[in-house]
Chains A and B, each alone.
Chain A
């Protein structure tokens, strides 16, 4: 079974430009979450999509947006890039929404599997 695929792996942009990153989740997974990883702030949650709807959003400015398609593939977009947006952007997929279930059933349904990330450098 193929893992989470993120494209492109590397990107170099200049300030003020916009960028679109793509994520293909594991086959059958319907939930996609995006995270930003930087040396200073670590891994921070951006947003989560399930069934083409944004279910959760982290504390990032409106320049960060995303969407999910009917095949569960997701894109995130960053407009008006700033130097501080340089980071590794990670996508994670899971099979379903968080149901608050107890027991090991959670493990199969809600564990997030990460892609290798897209490294964005803003010059």
Chain B
């Protein structure tokens, strides 16, 4: 079983829709959570970073973390065709000796104009 599970999609939505992207994880040692966006032929780009349970908002993006359920989400409001990309959740241990990011498999999102 993978440490981080993410629905690979693809997810296709009309422009203006609210998008919900989700990841679950199995190891409670993960304490820091990130969402990256990756366009085709590009490297991942950091969208959101959070370390506590609850919601964090940045423009049209909201990251939600529920540590008790080991579940994180990214919500995109008023989705745009330019949001079409692969979205990757990533997590990191608090332990200073284990600094690598563990990624979900990525969800491909297509926003139809």
Instruction: Give chain A's interface residues, CB within 8 Å of chain B.
Output: 4, 33, 35, 42-45, 48, 55-56, 58, 90, 92, 97-100, 102, 106-107, 110-117
Stretch at the interface among B10-18, B36-44, B60-68, B71-79: B36-44
Question: A45-B101, A56-B99, A97-B99 given as contacts; is B43 within 8 A of A106 (CB)?
Answer: no
B99, closest chain A residue (CB): A98
Instruction: Verify A45–B100 contact, CB threshold 8 A.
Output: yes
**Chain B interface main SS type:** loop
Whole-angstrom CA separation of A106 from B104 in the bound complex: 22
Question: A100-B94, A106-B32, A111-B49 given as contacts; is B100 within 8 A of A33 (CB)?
Answer: yes
Question: A94: shortest Cβ distance to chain B, in Å?
Answer: 9
Question: A102-B51, A106-B51 given as contacts; is B43 within 8 A of A114 (CB)?
Answer: yes
Instruction: Verify B43–A90 contact, CB threshold 8 A.
Output: yes
How many residue pairs at the A-B interface have CB separations less than 8 Å? Answer: 63
Question: A98-B96, A99-B96 given as contacts; is B103 within 8 A of A43 (CB)?
Answer: yes
A34, closest chain B residue (CB): B100
Which residues, 82 to 104 on B, are CB-close (under 8 Å) to A?
A: 88, 90, 92, 94-104
The contact of B106 among A42, A97, A98, by CB within 8 Å, is A42
22 contacts between A and B (CB under 8 A): A35-B103, A43-B88, A43-B101, A43-B103, A44-B103, A55-B99, A56-B98, A56-B99, A92-B43, A92-B101, A97-B99, A98-B92, A100-B95, A102-B51, A106-B32, A111-B34, A111-B46, A114-B43, A115-B43, A116-B42, A116-B43, A117-B42
Given contacts A43-B88, A43-B101, 4 further A-B contacts (CB under 8 A): A90-B43, A113-B46, A114-B45, A116-B41
Residues of A contacting B80 in the complex (Cβ-Cβ under 8 angstroms) = none
Residues of A contacting B102 in the complex (Cβ-Cβ under 8 angstroms) = 45
Which residues, 14 to 61 on B, are CB-close (under 8 Å) to A?
A: 32, 34, 36, 41-46, 49, 51
